[in-house]
Structures are given as structure tokens and as C-alpha cells.
Structure 1
Amino acid sequence: MTARLSSIELFVGAGGLAQGIAQAGFHPRLVAEWNRDACQTIRENQERGFPLVRDWPVIEGDVRDLTFSQFEGVDLVSGGPPCQPFSLGGKHAGYNDSRDMFPQAVRAVREAKPRAFIFENVKGLTRTAFQNYFEYIRLQLQYPEIIHLDGEDWTSHLARLEQHHLSGNRDGLTYRVVTEVLQAADFGVPQKRQRVFFVGFRRDLDVTWHFPRPSHSHEQLLHDQYVTGTYWERHGLARPPVPPRLVKSVHRAQAHGGLFAAEATAWRTVRDALQGLPEPQEEPYSNWSDHRLIPGARSYPGHTGSPLDEPSKTLKAGDHGVPGGENMLLNADGSVRYFTVRESARLQTFDDQYVFSGAWGNVMRQLGNAVPVHLGRAVAQSVQQALPL
């Protein structure tokens, strides 16, 4: 049985990463989120008795107002600091953006001194434009006691951190930090969603760790679809011809003769994720209140929706409502419609019993900002297994 370890969950949102961490055996001593709708989502599920969140000690408020020293020695600190400063869909303000909460993540590590931490963000943080700031975040997490001084700009602080790192001095609170961009589809999520993870272990634990290997592969999906045809058989459909854009990829999959299946199973598709759900209608179903058709979807160049037989495009939150292309389903006949709330939740691997609070646009923002539960679980299980008993 998985050991139950303690955690602090920050910037929780609707709870995707935190639920994955809970599934890996961590029990939160603090759950912090400032967004009212996201907090209401968690509270509503607590009232409904949803097991993963039932006992969460939720604090609605600004993480800058919290202190963490009372949790010193906690097993894990985790969270997804607001990512709009670095998102490809945002304004790219980065370190000049007041929404950058990485300094608070570092402070939580400094005060709580956890045995390990997991922080994630959008892949946009790894862009060349943010290369120095990415390194700044990593070094702050590695040496959280080398603090930012009053009046010091971040580049001067980075220079001090680099000097300390090169000196070889490892006194005080230090962490071994590993970073990697993970593709959610590689871990059983029916969505092409890339996130960068920062994972660290306190140096005194002497833990050697690497990110988990992918459990699912695109190549195996192509093999199941266009070499053996088992994908279509499973869905009760006739095998279609190979799309021209996939011919070369299918040939490579065929050359492997399915041997890759010994290491990974097929990527999950939108069709896989939506299996068992009825076609949405404008009037809600009695047992699927969050599975209602939202009218008005339209296709235009660059916004064509997600094909049924691939993982979906990355669900996005959007500053001004929900972007059409990323949050639409593209049917085989070329028609499009918006994903319902329940469909979007499945694409983010939330349990069907987990409900979302707020108007449709607010709920879709919660979902667009979430970490897929299964991706969070994969990383957290690997961390849990590496922590000394």
C-alpha cells in the first residue's frame, strides 16, 4: 500500500495537479488558491464527498499573505505558479509581470524546507526569450536561502546565485533540481499538452532521481490504427485509409512490428476519452448536468478543432473567453462544436464524479489552466517512490 506522506499544495486552481499528487499517496496540510470559482469547485466537491478532496484544508486567498515555517520538514511542496507571464497565449511579460508567483514558490520552499518539491508551468517558460529567467528560477530553487535583496534587480540576484553555485559551497538549505518538458499524451492523457516541471530533493537526502519514462506513445497509436486496425475494431468502426500526412509515420510504426508496445501503450485519443458519453444537447441530461451543448462554434483558418482520433489540442484558458480552435471538437464530416465541460474534464483526466463550479466561461478557464490529473500522478508517484522512508 502506498505510504501517506504530507504536502503543501499552492496555486491549486481546480485541483488537477493536487489530485494527481493525492493519488500518489500525499495528504495535504495546506491547500491554497486565490480564485473564488476554483475554491468553490473544491468546496462543492467536498460537500459531495468526493474522496480525493474531502479532507483538504482549503485557504482562499493570496499566497503572499501566508507563512510556511509551521510546516517545516513537510514531505512535499507543489504547485503551478500562475503561468500567464510565460504563456505563448499570453502577453509574454515574464519577469516584469506582477502575476509571476515563482518568488512565492521559492519562499515556500525556504520556509517549509520540504524533503521534495514539484512545480510546473507552461512550456513557454523554456523559450529563448526567457532562458536567463528560467535559469534564475532553477538556481533560486536550488539555493532558496540565497535571497533577493531589497532594491536588487533579478539579474544581479542571478549573478550572485551563479557565483555561489560555481563556488561549490553547498552549506545550508540546498536542493538537487531536475527540469524537463513533459508531453501529457505520453502519460495516458488524451491531450497534446506540454508542461515544464521543476522537481527537487533536499540535498541531505542524497536522492538520485530522473523523470518517469513515458507510458504511452504516438507510434503505438499509429500501429494500432493503421497497421493492425485494433483501434477501429475496439470502437466498432471500419478502418479508414491512411491520411496522406501520416503515411511516413505509419511506415515507421509498421517497421517496428509493434515491438514498441512492450515499452508503451498507444496514445489515448479524443474518441477514447469521450467513449460512453451521449452526444450533447442544449437541454442538459438528468445524469450529465455538465454535458450541455454550447452553440456558436465555428471553424476558420488556424481554428479547426481537435480531430476525434488523435489526442486533443491543448485546452486553453484565454484572457478573453475560450479560444475556438483549441476547445472545439472536429467531427469526421468537418463540422465543429465546443467541447462540453464534462468532455473537457475527461480530456484533463478528472474523474466523472468531480464537478465544476461557475459559469461556462469561468469553468473552461479552470479547466484550461489545470494540470491533467494523470500527468501529475505520474510525476508524483515517481517522487514518492524515491523519498526515503
Structure 2
Amino acid sequence: AGQDETVRDEAIRMIKSGRALQARELRGLKRDIALAKAAVEGTLDDRRRRAFRNAAARKARDKALAAADAWLDSLHALTEEVCTIAQLEEEDSSVHQIGRVEAVAPRAAELLKDLPDLVDPEFITASREGFNRGWSGTYSALQAIAKEKVYYKEHYGDGEPWQATYTFNSSLQWQLAWAFGYDDDSGTSSAVKRMREAGDTPLDVPVGVYGHKAPTVLEICAGAGGQAIGLEAAGFKHVGLVEVDKDAAATLRHNGKHWPVIEADLRDADLSQFVGIDLLAGGVPCQPFSQAGKRKGAADERDLFPKAMKLIRELKPKAVMLENVTGALQASNAMHRLRILARMAALGYDAEWRILSGPDFGLPQKRRRAILVGFRRGIMHRFSWPEPLAKKAPTVGEALYDLMAANGWAHVDEWKERANGYAPTIIGGSQKKGGIDLAQPKSRETWRELGVDPGHYAKAAPDRDAPRDHMPKLTLEMMARLQGFRDDWQLQGSNLQKFRQIANAFPPAMAQAVGLSILRALTGYKVDLEKEQKRLHRKSLNLKAVPNHVDPYPSDWDGEELAAG
């Protein structure tokens, strides 16, 4: 309640999203919002001065801050004088300010002499930022001024011999002024970029959303690519997709030709090359927690959560996203769930579970998934669970209308009105399941109320002459659309294997929603989910199929269109 209004509103929004916001996270939230304000308003970057004072305090606590402040004040006075020299040189370059340069040289030498008593050398050398910036750049500028090496020789002229002139090195003023928060490029975009490079993350700064380097993601148990589609649409770059099933791996390769697919058993795969990735994501096998199975939980040999925890320890990702069925949050699995949270805490991660629902993110299916999201310490305060879309999700009838009408079924409009609701969760992804069947007994009636026969599947849409009371089965294409796959996503393998891939999938729309929230926590960029959902349905350009560009207009073209052909 005592926070700034902006911080308070953000904290309340996070709690509304389902976050269990920790009181200590408010400090980080307050800092990141202040950084954003400083970047937009062009406020001087005081972190550099504070960093120097902190380094001095670490080296010698007794009177260290007073000595550091005195040194910084002397540096500030020297910087003002150097700026004056630069200005005078700019106004009349034919009259060099030799006397002024000679006067400031001893002051620079004195600052250099006192510096080792204030901070450790490692502080100076480790703070390099960009070209000749950072405390190391300030140190280099002091060295040049102390030696009176402030001019450089330039040659000009077209003939021989060239004429020579001496020019004042104006970059010295920027190297000194850097210590006090000044930069030669002080625009919002540049300020934000420098903050990010320094490890600071201002929140929601209005600069280009995709102006940052795409965060990397390693995806495990990648399946048919539902999660991969969503994370890529959110702005992540895949460095690897691990999948043991040969048909699912073939689906990944066929549709995502740019994806580095690793066909291997996760328990045997060597993934050490991915140390330091931004995000470790995956839909670890959900059967151990499924209410439809034998509910062996952690005793199930298909439980890959222990392997996922081992990967977190070895790869040290900045963020983790693991998806599972809602049974993972049932009381019967409480101990296993809490062990996972405790293990992540021991590894240095803040983590939370949350159940998300498909219709909240545009899916015409009541699919609910349990999501575990975690971050290395110091990041979680920027994470909010994704908010439901304002636009209502399409019904089964609206989503499948064109596919159901493909063969001209005369009564398709009546079927659409009957299918005026959301589909039950499509299940059946287990390799132990022997046939294609949409539902368990308790959801069969819901399917029938929607005008869908849940038993087996259809190879095609109803014929034109199908009767009014016909209850069609769904084709595999219809099932894939209910899961949110693009129509051009081509599944590989037998029809049974295609069905298993569909039923196992984490819907792209849900993956994108969580991915965008993780992106914001990692980079500070907040993205409008309503607009970005369009990226899910963009088809990739096959540039290899496009012939090399040939200019259709000759060099003497007079501006009129060429004749056809």
C-alpha cells in the first residue's frame, strides 16, 4: 500500500493473474519500473556512480564512501574542464588549448594515483561497456590526459604531399562523462539497450518489441511441435528440440525445417552444449499424473521430471517452463509436486504452478493444463501469468464449419448451431492406447451434445446427402484444428501415430501466451497477446523455392509499366 502508484498497480495486476507475489519481489519491481522511467525521461544513469561507491565500500569500509565521493567530485570537476576544452577546440580548431591541457594533466595523474587505494583493479577492468566505455574507458581517458596525449594527427588533401593537422580527441569527454550517466547516444532505445546489456531490465519501455536478440530455448519432449510453434511465435529461438518418438521427430523436421531436431531418449541425450540457455521448456510425459491412467505418479517409469530437474541443475537456464496435465496439481500428487518446487528452490529458482484453460486463449476446447514456470533468483518479480483474451474463443461449430462443409453437407448450418460449445479435452496420446478414440466415458455425452460421434475417426467430412440427424466423427484435420495447429501443419506417421501426436500436444496458443509472459520477465518487453496471436497462423516463406531476383525493368526504363510478358 505504501508503494508508488505504478508499482502498486503492477503488483496488483500480478496478483490478479494468479501470482503468489512475495513481499521481497516488490524491491525488484520498484527498481525495474524506475529504470524504465529513467530510460524514457533521459534521467542520468546514477548506477555507475553507485557502483563505484559500492566497490570502494567492499575494499575498505572505514571512511571509504567519503573518500570515494571526494574522488568522484574531483573527477566531475576534471570532466567539466575537459568538456570546456572540447568546446573551445570545436569553436576554433586553429587555436589549440595547450595551456588548459597542461593544467589538467596533473589533476588526472592525481586521480590515477589515488584510484588503487579506493577500488580493486578488477572492478575497473571488468566494467567494459561497448567501444571504450565503462570504468575501463574512464581509466584510459585519465591516462591519456595525464600524459597530455589528447590530440591525434590527421591528413587531408587530394594531392601529394598531404596536409597534416592535429585534432582534439573529443571522445575523451564522453569516456569521462560516462561515469556520471552521460552517453553520446542518449535516446530511449539506446538507453534501454545499454541497460539490458548491463543486466538491468526496465519494464514495458515503449521501444521496438523485437529489437532485442531473440532468447534461446531448448525444448524437451517436443512432440509434434505445438509448444514449439507457440514459443517461436512468442519470439524465442530454438537451439534444440529433443523428441524420442520417430514419427513426432519426423513431423518436427518436415514442418520446421529450420529447427535443430534431436531424435533421442531424453534420459540418454547429452545436452551439455546448451549450458546457459535462456529457457528450458517441455511437456514432460503426463501419463504419471493423468486421472485417466493408473495414477502411479512418481513411481511411473515414464516420469521424466527427475531428468528435467537434473537438466536444470546442469544447464542453468534463466527460465523453466514445464507443462503437464491438471492431475499434477491433484491432492494425491501433492508430495511429488512439492518435492519439485523444493528441488527447484534448492537449485536457486523461484517457481510456481498454475492451471490454464484453453478457451481463455482462443482454443475451442476445454483443455486445461498445469504449467510450472520458474526463474533464476532476481527475475520472478517481472513475471505475471498470461491474462485471458478479451475476445471469446470460437465454438466447435465455428472452428470446424468449413472443414465439416468441405463435401457440401446440406445440413452443416444446423450442425454448426448444435455444436455451439467447447469441445472436451482430446485425450489418447499414450503409446499404450491401441486405437483412435476421442474420449473417456464421462466426456462422451458432451461430445454427443455437440453433435460429434467420439468413437474412432472419419477419413472425410460428411457427404452432401448425409441426413439432418447425422452425428459425424471428426477427421484428424479437425482434431488438429481443435488443438490449434495450422491447417498446413503436416503430421507424419500412421493415422494412429498422428492421433497420438495431436492428443499429446500443448496447444500453440497456450504455449505462446505463457511464452510471451516469460519473454517479458527475461527482457522487459510487454507484448499485446491479442495482436501477437496472428503470428501463430503465419506460414513461413519457402525462400529456396523463390527464383533469384531479376530486375524486370531495363536501365533506361522511362517509368511506364512494361507490357505483360
Q: Distance in 1 between matches of 2:518 and 2:363?
A: 19
Q: Which amino acid aligns with 2:396?
A: V
Residues 1:16 and 2:219 are matched in the alignment:
no
2:253 counterpart letter in structure 1:
R
Pairing 1:175–2:333 present: no
Would you say the 8 A contact 2:360–2:393 is kept in 1?
yes
Q: Is the 8 A contact 2:427 2:438 kept in 1?
A: no
Distance 2:424 2:469 in 1: 16
Alignment partners' CA distance in 1, 2:331 and 2:254: 41
Q: Which residue of 2 aligns with 1:266?
A: 392
The equivalent residue for 2:437 is: 323
8 Å CA contact 2:383–2:520 kept in 1: the answer is no
Q: Give deviations 1:104-156, integer Å, cap 9, x for gaps.
A: 11111111111111111000111111111111122222323xxxxxxxxxxxx
1:323 CA displacement:
2.7
Partner of 1:256: none
Question: Residue 257 of structure 2 corresponds to which residue in structure 1?
Answer: 54
Q: CA deviation at 1:206?
A: 5.9
- The answer to whether structure 1 residue 313 and structure 2 residue 424 are counterparts is yes
Distance, in Å, in 2 between the alignment partners of 1:324 and 1:372 is 16
- For each residue in 1:180-228, what CA deviation from the matched residue of structure 2 results, as whole angstroms up to 9, or x when unmatched? 011111111111001000001110446432211111xxxxxxxxxxxxx
The residue correspondences of 1:233-244 to structure 2 (distance < 5 A) are none
User: Percent identical across equivalent pairs?
Assistant: 36
Task: Give the letter aligned to residue 30 of structure 1.
Answer: G
CA root-mean-square deviation: 2.2
Q: Is the 1:346–1:352 contact (alpha carbons within 8 Å) kept by the matching residues of 2? A: yes
1:176 deviation in Å? 1.2
More strand by share: 1
Any conservation in 1 of the 2:350–2:374 contact (CA below 8 Å)? yes
1:277 counterpart letter in structure 2: L
Judge conservation of contact 2:483–2:502 (CA < 8 Å) in 1: yes
CA distance in 2, matches of 1:278, 1:206: 45
Deviation at 1:373, TM superposition (A): 0.5
Q: Is the 8 A contact 1:123 1:195 kept in 2?
A: yes
Cα pair 1:67 1:111 within 8 Å, conserved: no
Counterpart check, 1:379 vs 2:499: no
Does the Cα contact within 8 Å between 1:205 and 1:388 map onto a contact in 2?
Answer: no
Q: Is the 8 A contact 2:358 2:368 kept in 1?
A: yes
CA contact (8 A) 2:221 2:242 kept: yes
CA drift of 1:275 comes to 3.4
Structure 1 distance, partners of 2:315, 2:366, is 34
Q: Which residue of 1 aligns with 2:286?
A: 83
Q: Which has the higher contact order (CA 8 A, sep 6+)?
A: 1
Distance 1:320 1:90 in 2: 14
For the residue of structure 2 that corresponds to 1:275, the secondary structure is helix
> Structure 1 pair 69/265, CA: closer, same or farther in 2 (3 Å)?
same
* Structure (1/2) with the larger helix percentage: 2
Note the C-alpha offset of 1:42: 1.4
The one-letter code of the counterpart of 1:61 is: A
| 8 A contact 1:116–1:202 mirrored in 2 | yes
Show CA shifts across 1:49-71 (max 9, x none). Answer: xxxx2211111111111233322
In 1, distance between residues paired with 2:296 and 2:406? Answer: 39
Structure 2 residue 489 is matched with structure 1 residue 354: yes
Deviates most, 368-377 or 3-12 = 3-12
**Match of residue 363 from structure 2:** 189
Q: Identify if the C-alpha distance between structure 1 residues 20 and 79 changes in structure 2 by more than 3 Å, giving closer, same or farther.
A: same
Task: State the aligned residue count.
Answer: 282
| Contact persistence 1:270–1:307 (CA under 8 A) | no
2: distance between equivalents of 1:276 and 1:365?
A: 24
1:345/1:206 CA distance change after superposition, 3 Å: closer
Residue in structure 1 matched with residue 329 of structure 2 by the alignment: 126
Structure 1 stretches of 4+ with a deviation exceeding 6 A read none
The C-alpha deviation readout for 1:229-268, integer Å capped at 9, x for no partner, is xxxxxxxxxxxxxxxxxxxxxxxxxxxxxxxxxxx22232
- Matched residue of 2:382: which SS? coil
Once residues 108 and 61 of structure 1 are traced to their aligned partners in structure 2, the CA distance between those partners, rounded to angstroms, is 15
Of 363, 375, 387, the match for 2:498: 363
**TM-score (norm: length of structure 1):** 0.68
Aligned to 2:310: 107
1:7-35 deviation line (CA, Å, top 9, x unaligned): 10000000111211111111111110001
Matches within 5 A, 1:145-294: 174-205=348-379, 207-215=381-389, 264-279=390-405
Change in Cα spacing, 1:275 to 1:91, as seen in structure 2 (3 Å) is same
Amino acid in structure 1 at the alignment position of 2:375: F
Distance in 2, Cα, partners of 1:85 & 1:335: 37
How far is 1:338 from its partner? 2.4
Cα distance change, pair 311–377 in 1 and its aligned pair in 2 (3 A): same
Q: TM-score, normalised by structure 2?
A: 0.47
**Residues 207 and 340 of structure 1, relative CA distance in 2, 3 Å threshold:** same
Give 5+ residue unaligned stretches, structure 2.
1-208, 409-416, 453-467, 525-565
Letter in 2 for 1:380: G
1:140 aligned partner: 343
- Which of these residues, 37, 40, 47, is aligned with residue 247 of structure 2? 37
Shift of 1:37: 1.1
Q: Distance in 2 between matches of 1:135 and 1:27?
A: 31
Give the letter for the 1:80 counterpart.
G
Secondary structure, counterpart of 1:338 in structure 2: coil
